[in-house]
């Protein structure tokens, strides 16, 4: 028997008001994902590809679809009674919503379209989301978003590829749902995902090699040396440059994804954003038995100071991430 998202939520999140309201949040996100799937699928027909002339708060040129997908998530989440605040990659400031403070309320943080710089070449893009709890009994403050990733109560992503998938965790493993396009309904297709501990695949933007720190140079050199080096086995390299697609591959068949600190742009050392890219992906991979680190600390333990802050990441198969962390420790001791 196929299990729909609706049925799954009514079985797993029906005990308390807190859980029931979290289920409502998941439904609002799932609704956004369905709409975005249609949007990205029909963008060339609707004349919605291409860049705009404006930049977002992070100085990145926005694509038309960045804004359209952002508007879609904002509309669905603002209409959700259990959501009391929003932060989006595409919005400079947090949106605070007034809600009944006697009830359990949540904050949604999201990247509405990850990989949008690749949208013209028709590779998989995605959406990433993270949900936090509002401290009970009071209105939302911007500071409520500035908590460690360990405080997340829901995290996940959608990937718009050959299939549209919705992948999420609320702390009881990682489940994968596939969109039935005819019925416009998500169906549970994989349960309790587990990331292989060992791997022979790594993913890094090698064009930045000259800006890497020695631990990353060493790790990649050793992978490339393959059977002729200390690793004693050959590796493959993969790099889609769409974080969702790269991390999804790791969830499915193992591997390690590295966007390390480098000295290319010292102010953007670690390019990806903590709240709505690194934290949700880190929790997903940890829930599936993998690891996620900056090289020097667990990503989920970083205390954020601003909503759009960036951090480095090494994420994926447990033993590979642990190896990179050992190289950092050895390097930092010598410094
Ligand atoms: Mn992104
Ligand atoms: Mn984005």
Q: Which CATH number fits domain 5-190: 3.40.50.720, 3.40.50.2300, 3.30.540.10, 1.20.1250.20?
A: 3.30.540.10
The two tokens of residue 293 are: 């680190």
Ligand 2 is an ion; its neighbours by CB within 5 Å are 89, 111, 113-114
The alpha carbon of residue 322 and the mean position of all alpha carbons in its chain are separated, in whole angstroms, by 21
Alpha carbon distance 3, 179 (integer Å): 12
As a whole number of angstroms, the distance between CA 132 and CA 144 comes to: 8
Q: For residue 315, count CB atoms less than 10 angstroms from its CB and return exposed for 0-12, middle for 13-18, buried for 19 or more.
A: buried
What is the CA(118)–ligand 2 centre distance, in A? Answer: 11
What's the token pair of residue 288? 């599936």
164 CA distance to ligand 1 middle (Å): 17
The pair phi, psi for residue 20, each rounded to 5°, is -60, -40
Interval between CA 222 and ligand 2 midpoint (Å): 32
Which ligand has the shortest distance to the CA of 73? 2
Rounded to the nearest angstrom, the distance between the alpha carbon of 56 and the centre of ligand 1 is 12
Termini Cα distance of the chain: 58
Ligand that lies nearest to the alpha carbon of residue 259, given by its number in the listed order: 1
Ligand 1 centre and the CA of 138: distance in Å? Answer: 31
What are the b/e assignments for 143-154, b being 16+ CB within 10 Å? ebbbbebeebbb
CB 234 within 8 A of CB 227: yes
| pLDDT value of residue 60 | 76
Give the model's pLDDT for residue 54.
75
Q: How far apart are CA 17 and CA 81, in angstroms?
A: 13
Q: Per residue in 106-135, pLDDT tens?
A: 999 999 999 998 888 999 999 999 999 999
Tell me the CA–centroid distance for residue 126 and ligand 2, in Å. 8
Mind listing the pLDDT tens digit for each residue in 247-271?
999 999 999 999 999 888 877 678 9
* CATH 3.40.190.80 is right for the domain spanning 201-334: yes
The helix (H) or strand (E) run that includes residue 109 is: strand 106-114
**307 CA to middle of ligand 2, Å?**
15
Q: What is the pLDDT of residues 79-89, one digit of tens each?
A: 999 999 999 99
Return the domain boundaries, the chain: 5-190, 201-334
């Amino acid at each position: 028997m196929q299990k729909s998202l609706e049925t799954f939520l009514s079985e797993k999140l029906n005990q308390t008001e807190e859980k029931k309201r979290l289920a409502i949040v998941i439904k609002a996100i799932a609704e956004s994902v369905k709409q975005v799937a249609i949007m990205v699928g029909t963008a060339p027909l609707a004349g919605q590809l291409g860049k705009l002339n404006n930049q977002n708060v992070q100085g990145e040129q926005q694509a038309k679809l960045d804004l359209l997908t952002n508007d879609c998530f904002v509309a669905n989440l603002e209409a959700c009674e259990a959501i009391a605040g929003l932060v989006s990659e595409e919005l400079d400031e947090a949106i605070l919503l007034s809600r009944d403070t006697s009830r359990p309320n949540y904050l949604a943080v999201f990247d509405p379209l990850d990989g949008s710089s690749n949208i013209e070449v028709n590779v998989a893009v995605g959406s990433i989301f993270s949900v936090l709890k509002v401290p009970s009994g009071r209105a939302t403050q911007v500071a409520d978003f500035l908590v460690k990733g360990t405080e997340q109560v829901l995290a996940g992503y959608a990937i718009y590829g050959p299939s549209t998938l919705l992948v999420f965790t609320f702390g009881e493993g990682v489940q994968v749902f596939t969109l039935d396009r005819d019925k416009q309904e998500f169906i549970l297709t994989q349960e309790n995902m587990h990331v292989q501990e060992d791997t022979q695949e790594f993913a890094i933007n090698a064009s930045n090699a000259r800006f890497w720190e020695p631990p990353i140079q060493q790790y990649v050199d050793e992978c490339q040396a393959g059977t002729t080096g200390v690793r004693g086995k050959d590796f493959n390299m993969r790099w889609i440059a769409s974080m969702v697609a790269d991390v999804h591959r790791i969830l499915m068949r193992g591997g390690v994804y590295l966007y390390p600190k480098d000295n290319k742009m010292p102010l953007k050392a670690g390019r990806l954003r903590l709240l709505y890219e690194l934290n949700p992906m880190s929790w997903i991979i940890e829930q599936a038995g993998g690891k996620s680190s900056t090289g020097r600390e667990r990503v989920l333990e970083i205390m954020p100071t601003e909503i759009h802050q960036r951090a480095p990441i090494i994420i994926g198969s447990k033993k590979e991430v642990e190896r990179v962390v050992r190289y950092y420790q050895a390097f930092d001791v010598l410094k």
